[in-house]
Protein backbone atom coordinates (compact mmCIF):
# COMPACT_ATOMS: atom_id res chain seq x y z
CA UNK A 1 0.00 0.00 0.00
CA UNK A 2 1.24 3.42 -0.82
CA UNK A 3 1.62 5.62 2.31
CA UNK A 4 -0.34 8.40 0.63
CA UNK A 5 -3.55 6.40 1.08
CA UNK A 6 -3.18 6.86 4.83
CA UNK A 7 -2.64 10.60 4.36
CA UNK A 8 -4.81 11.49 1.36
CA UNK A 9 -7.27 8.62 1.04
CA UNK A 10 -10.86 8.99 2.09
CA UNK A 11 -12.00 7.40 5.35
CA UNK A 12 -13.60 4.59 3.32
CA UNK A 13 -10.37 4.01 1.36
CA UNK A 14 -8.28 3.88 4.53
CA UNK A 15 -10.77 1.50 6.16
CA UNK A 16 -10.77 -0.81 3.13
CA UNK A 17 -7.07 -0.87 2.18
CA UNK A 18 -4.88 -0.10 5.20
CA UNK A 19 -5.21 -3.30 7.27
CA UNK A 20 -4.83 -5.83 4.40
CA UNK A 21 -1.80 -3.97 3.05
CA UNK A 22 -0.12 -3.56 6.44
CA UNK A 23 -0.61 -7.28 7.14
CA UNK A 24 0.79 -8.23 3.73
CA UNK A 25 -2.51 -9.71 2.57
CA UNK A 26 -2.61 -7.36 -0.44
CA UNK A 27 0.40 -6.15 -2.44
CA UNK A 28 0.61 -2.74 -4.13
CA UNK A 29 2.66 -1.18 -6.93
CA UNK A 30 3.16 2.38 -8.18
CA UNK A 31 1.95 3.17 -11.69
CA UNK A 32 3.84 6.41 -12.33
CA UNK A 33 6.64 6.14 -14.95
CA UNK A 34 5.83 6.31 -18.66
CA UNK A 35 7.85 5.55 -21.81
CA UNK A 36 8.04 9.15 -23.05
CA UNK A 37 8.65 10.84 -19.71
CA UNK A 38 10.19 8.38 -17.28
CA UNK A 39 9.35 9.40 -13.73
CA UNK A 40 8.60 13.04 -14.65
CA UNK A 41 4.93 13.33 -13.68
CA UNK A 42 4.63 16.53 -15.70
CA UNK A 43 5.12 14.45 -18.86
CA UNK A 44 2.23 12.04 -18.17
CA UNK A 45 0.24 10.96 -21.21
CA UNK A 46 -1.99 8.32 -19.62
CA UNK A 47 -5.48 9.77 -19.85
CA UNK A 48 -8.24 9.73 -17.25
CA UNK A 49 -11.51 10.93 -18.74
CA UNK A 50 -14.64 11.44 -16.68
CA UNK A 51 -17.54 9.23 -17.78
CA UNK A 52 -20.69 9.48 -15.69
CA UNK A 53 -19.94 8.40 -12.13
CA UNK A 54 -16.52 7.02 -13.02
CA UNK A 55 -13.40 7.39 -15.13
CA UNK A 56 -12.01 5.73 -18.25
CA UNK A 57 -8.23 5.23 -18.32
CA UNK A 58 -6.13 4.78 -21.47
CA UNK A 59 -2.35 4.75 -21.68
CA UNK A 60 0.80 2.96 -20.61
CA UNK A 61 3.19 2.78 -17.66
CA UNK A 62 6.67 1.26 -17.69
CA UNK A 63 9.28 -0.02 -15.22
CA UNK A 64 6.55 -0.93 -12.74
CA UNK A 65 8.22 -3.15 -10.15
CA UNK A 66 6.25 -6.28 -9.30
CA UNK A 67 3.07 -5.40 -11.18
CA UNK A 68 2.76 -9.03 -12.25
CA UNK A 69 2.07 -10.13 -8.66
CA UNK A 70 0.37 -7.02 -7.25
CA UNK A 71 -3.26 -6.89 -6.22
CA UNK A 72 -3.59 -3.10 -6.46
CA UNK A 73 -1.74 -0.11 -7.84
CA UNK A 74 -1.65 3.61 -7.25
CA UNK A 75 -2.07 5.28 -10.62
CA UNK A 76 -1.43 8.89 -11.61
CA UNK A 77 -3.10 9.99 -14.84
CA UNK A 78 -3.77 13.25 -16.67
CA UNK A 79 -7.38 14.32 -16.17
CA UNK A 80 -7.27 17.99 -17.25
CA UNK A 81 -5.69 18.30 -20.67
CA UNK A 82 -5.90 22.10 -20.76
CA UNK A 83 -4.02 22.60 -17.47
CA UNK A 84 -0.27 23.31 -17.36
CA UNK A 85 1.94 20.20 -17.20
CA UNK A 86 2.28 20.06 -13.42
CA UNK A 87 -1.46 20.48 -12.90
CA UNK A 88 -4.44 18.46 -14.04
CA UNK A 89 -3.30 15.12 -12.61
CA UNK A 90 -5.50 12.68 -10.72
CA UNK A 91 -4.48 9.88 -8.37
CA UNK A 92 -6.44 6.60 -8.46
CA UNK A 93 -6.46 3.31 -6.54
CA UNK A 94 -6.63 0.54 -9.14
CA UNK A 95 -7.49 -3.14 -8.78
CA UNK A 96 -4.90 -4.78 -11.06
CA UNK A 97 -7.46 -7.39 -12.20
CA UNK A 98 -9.76 -4.72 -13.67
CA UNK A 99 -10.74 -5.52 -17.28
CA UNK A 100 -8.52 -3.65 -19.72
CA UNK A 101 -5.37 -3.80 -17.55
CA UNK A 102 -2.62 -5.68 -19.40
CA UNK A 103 0.68 -6.49 -17.69
CA UNK A 104 3.74 -7.46 -19.74
CA UNK A 105 6.90 -8.50 -17.96
CA UNK A 106 10.18 -6.95 -19.12
CA UNK A 107 12.98 -9.51 -19.36
CA UNK A 108 16.45 -8.27 -18.44
CA UNK A 109 19.67 -9.68 -19.89
CA UNK A 110 20.09 -11.73 -16.71
CA UNK A 111 16.81 -13.50 -17.45
CA UNK A 112 15.03 -11.95 -14.47
CA UNK A 113 11.86 -9.94 -14.95
CA UNK A 114 11.05 -7.82 -11.95
CA UNK A 115 9.81 -4.88 -14.03
CA UNK A 116 6.70 -4.58 -16.17
CA UNK A 117 4.93 -2.54 -18.78
CA UNK A 118 1.31 -1.95 -17.85
CA UNK A 119 -1.23 -0.99 -20.50
CA UNK A 120 -4.68 0.50 -19.89
CA UNK A 121 -7.31 -0.11 -22.57
CA UNK A 122 -10.62 1.61 -21.67
CA UNK A 123 -10.16 0.72 -18.00
CA UNK A 124 -13.15 1.85 -15.95
CA UNK A 125 -12.52 3.14 -12.42
CA UNK A 126 -15.28 4.27 -10.08
CA UNK A 127 -14.98 7.83 -8.78
CA UNK A 128 -14.82 6.32 -5.27
CA UNK A 129 -11.36 5.01 -6.26
CA UNK A 130 -10.08 8.55 -6.86
CA UNK A 131 -7.94 9.95 -4.08
CA UNK A 132 -8.46 13.38 -2.59
CA UNK A 133 -4.86 13.97 -3.70
CA UNK A 134 -4.81 15.61 -7.09
CA UNK A 135 -2.67 18.22 -8.77
CA UNK A 136 -4.82 21.28 -9.10
CA UNK A 137 -3.91 24.87 -8.49
CA UNK A 138 -0.26 23.87 -8.91
CA UNK A 139 0.01 21.69 -5.83
CA UNK A 140 -1.13 18.35 -4.48
CA UNK A 141 -4.07 18.93 -2.19
Write down the pLDDT at residue 24. 84
Model confidence at 66, pLDDT cuts 50, 70, 90, reads: very high
How far apart are alpha carbons 32 and 9 in whole angstroms? 18
Higher pLDDT, 11 or 32: 32
Query: What is this structure's pTM?
Result: 0.85
pLDDT tens-digit series, residues 82-97: 998 888 999 999 999 9
Name the CA dihedral angle for 115, 104, 26, 94, rounded to a multiple of 10 degrees: 110
Write down the pLDDT at residue 2. 57
Length of the chain: 141
Write down the pLDDT at residue 137. 36
Amino acid sequence: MHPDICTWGTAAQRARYAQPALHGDEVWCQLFSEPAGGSDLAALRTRAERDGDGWVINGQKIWTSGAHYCDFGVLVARSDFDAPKHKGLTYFLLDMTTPGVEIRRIRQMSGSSHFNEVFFHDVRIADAQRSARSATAGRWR
